[in-house]
Chains A and B, each alone.
Chain A
Amino acid sequence: MSLTVDTHAGRAGRRMGVFLAFPSSLIVFFIIMIPIVLMFRYSFNDYDPINMMREAFTFENYIKFFSDAYYREVFLSTLKVAAICTALALILGFPVAYFLAKTQTRFKSLLIILLVFPLMVGNVVRAAGWMVVLGHAGAANALMQWLGLIEQPIKLLYTPLAVIIGTTAVVLPYMILTLQSVLEGIDFSVEEAAQNLGANVWTTFWRVLLPIAAPGVAAGTMLVFILCMNAYATPVLLGGSGITMMAPSLYGQIAKASNWPFGSTMALILVVATLVMALGANWLIHRRYVKTMAS
């Protein structure tokens, strides 16, 4: 009898919880969804230079985007930069995360604070810093000249390379922290077991450590890829006219050309492409590594 009462109370409590959470959930849902829904609607609207946006339902903007070589180029270079930066962040971040997860040093929390510190400085400020480093008379050129690698300063700033360096620097802490939190949970005696069974360091990494770390790699890759695809300040400040990426370009459509329908179309394409790529990568990693552990 008392059991039934308890169950009823539990169920009622749960219902109460749902009821209480409902209003705020609704608000959050709308705050997140309204801009996207509006953009979605705008992307089917018409544009003319005199009347600006006109209510319509046309695929004109999508056709324009994919048939214009310039926008295809913007889209592809965004994908390329994001993919390269994500790969770089993974390759550079993994050893650091591995070190942080394994280290016994008492300076560990200090190291993590140092890692978080760049996140407290805005992207604009950090990009400005890179401008100083990569400029014509900047530190990078000075160093290479001093080392005798080059005779005349080379163009670094306002190139895709500058954007890749700057963006990778921005996303690296996210990658490291995500990987570290997953690596932290690994019992590293599996590495010793693998070596004891005859695996060298390389085989141990590929066949034991990486598969076990796969959930972290998937999470970090997804997060960083999304950040890279949507980067705005870094490509603007470091890419200049040398490379155009999606976020600055669509902002230009909306703010400078006042072409809301086309800007919205670009925004939507960016959102969908990011989602598809991120979820695709996640799915691949999970299928390759994680599924076996969860079955």
Chain B
Amino acid sequence: MANVSLINLKKQFGKSLAVSDFSLEIADGELVAFLGPSGCGKTTTLRMIAGFLDPTAGRILIGNDDVTAVPVHKRNTGMVFQRYALFPHMTVAHNVSFGLEMRKVPAAERERRIGLALDMVRLTEFKDRYPRQLSGGQQQRVAIARALAIEPKVFLLDEPLSNLDAKLRLEVREDIRALQQRLGLTTIFVTHDQEEALAISDRMAIMHDGKVQQVGTPQDLYEKPANLFVADFLGKMNFFSGRQAGEGQFQTQEGLQLKVAAVAGDTVTIGVRPERTELSSEPASDNSVPVTLKSCAFLGSHIDVVLTGAGQQRLSCQLSNTAAGSSHQLLQEGARLFMNFKATDCVVFSERGAR
């Protein structure tokens, strides 16, 4: 395994800029998720690392080797594709064997490594089956075994779970993380599913419009989003536009006076996560915003409440479905309530929201 350095990577397709100025250091044995909406450049970046695309500018280092000009088949990366991309005319064992044969691994050693790789993904007894005789989850596990059998320097996964149903997705995801940690694989995992990225990665890079918005641990990104895009993309957030109005004070456009711990001179937007808010019939906590209840959605473990604030502003509140259920009797459509949240739970931004 090796560390990976992306240095000022750029990719242009005709006039459109798919990836602009992407720099990232990925440590040996680290799992980094590239997360973003479709068309954000995450897959393009992964394909440049694998060598399927040539960067317009910038360099890619694997270990200490500059591989920018090295063709795909000599890069020694192990890639798992969204649609498995297993060879349909080969058995499971032959699929895994393919990369080893390309490396001229002697037959006996090959057998041993096929056995190890299939054992890793618990598919030993399926080695003589053909891909179409396997379920989607099993097929993707074969693809993982095939990619890892060659002992690649970097493990690349391109939306590996998006073709699987919910239950299998969780199972294969856990398999990938367990293997990655056990083998200390330097891994890049591309996904558009934030839950997936949050659950699996050491660090994640959130991308939008070809640009990296923020890189950090899942918790960092969630708790301290660097900009409105990250705040809004990762989970939900209620935003208030306005300006600083004295020490620890923020005045919204609608004239609400809010206590915000981190407010600064350049703060023009503040945000608060729906799960950090509470509802009550009387003002409570640091901040209490008067709201009207619009609708509720019962989602089992929690309840999503949609509210209308001052100036028809749409707000949301997430109440956990606790045994007490104290505030649930308040959840009547059209009820006039207060949305309460602490000054320390507010996140500040120096850019104005488009909404």
Contacts and interface: CB of A to CB of B under 8 A. Distances in A.
The answer on A and B forming one complex is yes
Contact of B89 (A187, A193, A199, A211): A211
A196 B88 contact: no
Interface string B65-90: 00000011111111101110111111
Interface string B264-298: 00000000000000000000000000000000000
A194 interface: yes
Contact of B146 (A197, A207, A211, A289): A197
Interface in B293-337: none
Given A293-B130, A295-B130, A197 B99 contact: yes
Interface string B148-168: 001000000000000000000
B50 interface: yes
Given A193-B79, A293-B130, A198 B150 contact: yes
Given A189-B83, A293-B130, A295-B130, A197 B98 contact: yes
A198 B89 contact: no
A56 B14 CA distance: 77
B126 to A, nearest CB: 15
B160 to A, nearest CB: 12
A187 B85 CA distance: 7
Interface residues of A, number: 22
A187 B83 contact: yes
A292 B89 contact: yes
Nearest to B103: A198
Given A200-B73, A203-B102, A190 B85 contact: yes
Contact of B88 (A194, A195, A200, A212): A212
B50 A196 contact: yes
B100 to A, nearest CB: 9
Nearest to A187: B83
A192 B85 contact: yes
B89 A196 contact: no
Contact of A193 (B71, B76, B85): B85
Interface string B44-63: 00000010100000000000
Contacts of A189: 81-83, 85
Contacts, number: 72
Contacts of A84: none
Nearest to A188: B85
Interface in B82-136: 82-83, 85-90, 98-99, 102-103, 130, 132
Nearest to B149: A197
Nearest to A191: B85
A196 B87 contact: no
A194 B83 contact: no
Contacts of A199: 73, 98, 102
Interface string B16-47: 00000000000000000000000000000000
Nearest to A214: B89
B118 to A, nearest CB: 16
A208 interface: yes
A3 to B, nearest CB: 30
B81 A193 contact: yes
Contact of B72 (A196, A207, A214): A196
B81 A192 contact: yes
B237 to A, nearest CB: 37
A198 B87 contact: no
A292 B73 CA distance: 26
A197 B89 contact: no
Nearest to B156: A196
Interface in A162-206: 187, 189-190, 192-200, 203
A196 B102 contact: no
Contacts of B88: 190, 212, 293
A212 to B, nearest CB: 6
A187 B88 CA distance: 10
A173 B77 CA distance: 40
A189 B81 CA distance: 8
A123 B7 CA distance: 60
Nearest to A199: B102
B73 A212 contact: no
A191 to B, nearest CB: 9
A41 B50 CA distance: 66
Given A196-B77, A196-B78, A293-B130, A190 B103 contact: no
Contacts of B72: 192, 195-196
Nearest to A192: B52
B89 A289 contact: yes
A25 B132 CA distance: 36
B77 A194 contact: no
Given A199-B73, A199-B98, A295-B130, A194 B52 contact: no
Nearest to A203: B102
A289 B86 CA distance: 16
Given A190-B85, A214-B89, 15 more contacts: A190-B88, A192-B79, A192-B81, A193-B86, A195-B72, A196-B75, A197-B73, A197-B99, A197-B102, A197-B147, A199-B73, A211-B89, A212-B87, A292-B90, A293-B132
